[in-house]
Chains A and B, each alone.
Chain A
Amino acid sequence: MEVNITREDIIKELMNLYIGQAASLMSEITNRKIILSVPEVKILIGKEQVAGLVMPECQNNGALMVSSIKFEKDLEGMAKLIFPANKIKKLTSIVLEEDLLEEDFYSLKMEFSDTDYDIVKELGNIVLNSVVGGIANLIDICAEYSMPQVKLFENIDYEKLIEPYSQVLLTFVNFNIENEEIFGAIIIQLAFKSMKDLLEKVEELRSNVDEQDL
């Protein structure tokens, strides 16, 4: 029986593995049960393909909070973890064990403090380090990371988040923290060579899987 495994399937599995490691570390740090899963990945070439993207939970509220890191040397690019801004309060209150009511989320949801930014920065840092580190290890090259940055974007504008002419690996991520679902996304922009290396490696893995199936 022929199993049609796409490169997206392989990347999805890899991403699940990397963010699974991040989730494990985050669970240890926060003393919370954190489960991360990857419902979907997309490989996008060029800015045009990104323009039409809509994050499922951002349709009615455009604000986004983005934690990002740069990496260079052999693996070159930028990684961003994106959360709908209206979910940030829920995320931070769970992490900080703050007892906020639903109505408090409503009233406070767009009032972000340094504490909120720092938590997103730390969580994003761990997830992105894990994913980028995983990709670097996979293609057996070295990456140098920057310290994470967090920014709030008022409107959904994926084009602003992505450098022109870059190759993009888009991964939707489901954060399950203490049974609260928070939907986010990871955008990994890779330089042309880095994406080529990654896709070649993925193709190699896919061939291996196909051969095993045969």
Chain B
Amino acid sequence: MNRIYKKALGATNHGILIIDEQLKIVFGNTFMEELLGIYPDNMIGKSISEILPKFKDKTLQKILHMVIENNQKLFLSAAQHKYFALPRNNCENAIRQNLNVVSLEVSGRKYALLEIHDVTNQFLRVKQLKSYIAKLYELQKSLDHNELKYKTLFDNIDVGFIYCEILWDKKGNIDDIVITDANNPFLKTFYKTKESVVGESLVEVGNALQKGFGDRMLSRLARGKNIRYDDIYIKKFDGYFSVTGYVCGGDGYALKIKNITQRKANERTIKKLAYFDQLTGLLSRNVFEKVLERKIQRVKRGGKPFTLMFIDIDNFKELNDSFGHDFGDKVLVEIAKRLKKTTRQGDIVSRFGGDEFLILNSDVESVDIGKKIAKRILRQLSIPLIIGERRIRLKVSIGISICPHDSCSKTELLKKADMAMYSAKEVGGNKFMFFQDYSKSMEKA
């Protein structure tokens, strides 16, 4: 029977030793033999500290005595004690063993059964797990750091941002869009506090900014379209804004709200610079030529005739030389005002360059109407100008070409009006001349 027990204990995959009250070994299983390289019979009778040097430790000896005397059971962990039986050729740092100590009483004599369980793999797993958790925590810290970085960016970028959460009803339709965060530029632009915005419906906040704006945003999202308004005027804040939506994963939705009021103002200035003459505020030559081109096309399609007047100030160079360019500029500004005042609604006045002006008189059905306008201009401009302390009387020469009578080409019309103007100037100035009259006179000559 003893042999059966010995075999059974030997077959276990952990080390077993039985010691008596003097801590001398009375049994060691084959696992211990394999572990230590000591034949079991050579262990018997030897003190446990001789076979397992770890037990030279007085505390461990005390524990063994205590367990035996008090009939106890005790668990000693690898976590605290590392190992109990150091295998041959093994580094003590690499091995971890738990120890169970169980008291036994056989035939009135007391013993302790020591079970040594190798938990090295378990220990390594825990070590790896701890290292993994530590790395995970580092990653978390790094993510927190990134979040902080983006949060700082979020709050300090000069573009308004709000984050929302889309709520769905049971049918899968959008029930509401709730604002979950808003950055400082948004709050500052719309005079809001975070508390007044977070948790509120985007639709209501939008409608409060501008009537129907929130509803329009909801409607776009409900139709599966992204929110995008490149240029929306919000009267309440007297400003222009661009609003763009972004899907932010799951049910998250972000809105970028950019105040483009200044950009719009800049655009207007740039447009003005390109379209208008800086000194007089009249249409620039480029724009005038485009309008002229369109008018010619209209005439070609059967539209009413128009006249093109080329106006040049007589002796403007002398005026400039005598009183300076500033004075000359003031004269040009005043003439522009008078030309605007004199022309009919729908007529277009432009500064062609220097002291030359162009007028396009639409719908001139007869030469008489052209004459009337020209006379009116001459009359208006003959009224003395008072600039500073000076009073001057101006004279101008006007050349007139008629579309389609004289040409249906922009270049030709300009050229012919110019020729007529020079002709008027040659005969003393302060006159107007139609190209057709000039042409006839040339033919006679």
Q: Using CB atoms and an 8 Å cutoff, list the residues of chain A in contact with chain B.
A: 25, 28-30, 69, 92, 95-96, 104, 107-108, 111, 113-116, 118-119, 121-122, 125-126, 129, 133, 142-148
| Residues from chain A with Cβ under 8 Å of B66 in the complex | 25
| Residues from chain A with Cβ under 8 Å of B129 in the complex | 113
A106 to chain B, nearest CB (A): 10
Q: How far is the CA of A119 from the CA of B80 in the complex (A)?
A: 7
Determine which residue in B59, B70, B126 has the highest number of CB atoms from chain A within 10 A of its CB, and name it: B70
Q: List 27 A-B contacts (CB under 8 A).
A: A25-B62, A25-B63, A29-B59, A29-B81, A95-B79, A95-B80, A96-B79, A104-B134, A107-B137, A113-B126, A113-B129, A114-B119, A114-B125, A114-B126, A115-B78, A118-B77, A118-B78, A118-B98, A119-B77, A122-B75, A125-B75, A126-B74, A133-B72, A144-B71, A146-B73, A147-B73, A147-B100
Q: How far is the CA of A92 from the CA of B84 in the complex (A)?
A: 20
Interface class of chain A by DSSP: helix
Pair B79/A115 contact, Cβ less than 8 Å: yes
Pair B74/A118 contact, Cβ less than 8 Å: no
Pair B70/A129 contact, Cβ less than 8 Å: yes
A99 to chain B, nearest CB (A): 12
Pair B137/A121 contact, Cβ less than 8 Å: no
Contacts A118-B75, A122-B80 known; 11 new A-B pairs at CB < 8 A: A25-B66, A29-B80, A69-B73, A95-B79, A104-B137, A107-B137, A113-B126, A115-B78, A118-B79, A147-B73, A147-B102
* Chain B, 275-309, CB within 8 A of any chain A CB: none
B99 to chain A, nearest CB (A): 10
| Residues from chain B with Cβ under 8 Å of A114 in the complex | 119, 122-123, 125-126
Q: Mark B60-92, 1 if CB is under 8 A from A, else 0.
A: 001100100011111111111100000000000
Q: How far is the CA of A129 from the CA of B70 in the complex (A)?
A: 9
B79: contacting residue among A25, A28, A111, A119, CB under 8 A: A119
Q: How far is the CA of A115 from the CA of B96 in the complex (A)?
A: 11
Total interface residues on B, CB under 8 Å, equals: 30
B142 to chain A, nearest CB (A): 13
| Residues from chain B with Cβ under 8 Å of A25 in the complex | 59, 62-63, 66
* Chain B, 328-361, CB within 8 A of any chain A CB: none
| Residues from chain B with Cβ under 8 Å of A126 in the complex | 74
Closest 8 pairs (CB-CB, A-B) = A118-B77, A113-B126, A28-B59, A115-B79, A122-B77, A145-B73, A107-B137, A118-B79
* B58 (CB) vs chain A CBs: closest residue: A28
Pair A129/B78 contact, Cβ less than 8 Å: no
| Residues from chain B with Cβ under 8 Å of A125 in the complex | 73-75
| Residues from chain B with Cβ under 8 Å of A121 in the complex | 75, 77
Q: Mark B121-144, 1 if CB is under 8 A from A, else 0.
A: 011011001100110010010000
A67 to chain B, nearest CB (A): 9
Pair B72/A145 contact, Cβ less than 8 Å: yes
| Residues from chain A with Cβ under 8 Å of B72 in the complex | 129, 133, 145
Q: Using CB atoms and an 8 Å cutoff, list the residues of chain B in contact with chain A.
A: 59, 62-63, 66, 70-81, 98, 100, 102, 119, 122-123, 125-126, 129-130, 133-134, 137, 140
* A125 (CB) vs chain B CBs: closest residue: B75
| Residues from chain B with Cβ under 8 Å of A115 in the complex | 77-79, 123, 126
* B122 (CB) vs chain A CBs: closest residue: A114
Pair B75/A147 contact, Cβ less than 8 Å: yes
| Residues from chain B with Cβ under 8 Å of A122 in the complex | 75-77, 79-80
Pair B73/A108 contact, Cβ less than 8 Å: no
* B100 (CB) vs chain A CBs: closest residue: A147
Q: How far is the CA of A116 from the CA of B70 in the complex (A)?
A: 27
Q: How far is the CA of A77 from the CA of B129 in the complex (A)?
A: 37
A36 to chain B, nearest CB (A): 17
Q: How far is the CA of A30 from the CA of B81 in the complex (A)?
A: 9
Pair A30/B80 contact, Cβ less than 8 Å: yes
| Residues from chain A with Cβ under 8 Å of B63 in the complex | 25, 29
| Residues from chain B with Cβ under 8 Å of A111 in the complex | 133
* B115 (CB) vs chain A CBs: closest residue: A147
A147 to chain B, nearest CB (A): 5
Pair B133/A148 contact, Cβ less than 8 Å: no
* B98 (CB) vs chain A CBs: closest residue: A118
| Residues from chain B with Cβ under 8 Å of A96 in the complex | 79-80
Q: How far is the CA of A134 from the CA of B285 in the complex (A)?
A: 112
B146 to chain A, nearest CB (A): 17
| Residues from chain A with Cβ under 8 Å of B123 in the complex | 114-115
A107 in contact with B79 given A125-B74, A129-B72, A144-B71 (CB within 8 Å):
no
| Residues from chain B with Cβ under 8 Å of A113 in the complex | 126, 129-130
Q: How far is the CA of A116 from the CA of B80 in the complex (A)?
A: 10
Q: How far is the CA of A95 from the CA of B80 in the complex (A)?
A: 7
| Residues from chain B with Cβ under 8 Å of A92 in the complex | 79
B110 to chain A, nearest CB (A): 13
* B125 (CB) vs chain A CBs: closest residue: A114
| Residues from chain A with Cβ under 8 Å of B80 in the complex | 29-30, 95-96, 118-119, 122
A66 to chain B, nearest CB (A): 15
Pair A108/B71 contact, Cβ less than 8 Å: no
A129: contacting residue among B74, B102, B119, CB under 8 A: B74
| Residues from chain A with Cβ under 8 Å of B133 in the complex | 107-108, 111
Q: How far is the CA of A25 from the CA of B133 in the complex (A)?
A: 33
| Residues from chain B with Cβ under 8 Å of A69 in the complex | 73
B73 to chain A, nearest CB (A): 5
| Residues from chain A with Cβ under 8 Å of B74 in the complex | 125-126, 129
| Residues from chain B with Cβ under 8 Å of A28 in the complex | 59, 62
Q: How far is the CA of A113 from the CA of B73 in the complex (A)?
A: 23
